[in-house]
């Protein structure tokens, strides 16, 4: 059988992984927005 401690450890692992992923996606979204804004500026100049 699986012990409660093992289940809790698994849940904590999953939660930390999700938090890490969220942080990463947030930063990538910021980068994407910056890239889009810069490309718009270059288009206007042309």
What's the distance, Cα to Cα, between the start and end of the chain in Å? 68
Distance CA 1, CA 34 (A): 51
Residue 45 has a pLDDT of: 66
Read off the pLDDT of residues 6-30 as tens digits, 9 standing for 90 and up: 999 999 999 999 999 989 888 888 8
pLDDT band at 42 (very low <50, low <70, confident <90, very high): confident
| Residue 40, both tokens | 């718009």
Residue 46 has a pLDDT of: 63
Residue 41 has a pLDDT of: 74
pLDDT band at 39 (very low <50, low <70, confident <90, very high): confident
């Amino acid at each position: 059988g699986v012990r409660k401690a093992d289940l809790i450890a698994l849940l904590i692992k999953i939660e930390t992984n999700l938090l890490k992923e969220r942080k990463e996606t947030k930063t990538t979204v910021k980068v994407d927005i910056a890239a889009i804004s810069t490309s718009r500026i270059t288009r206007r100049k042309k």
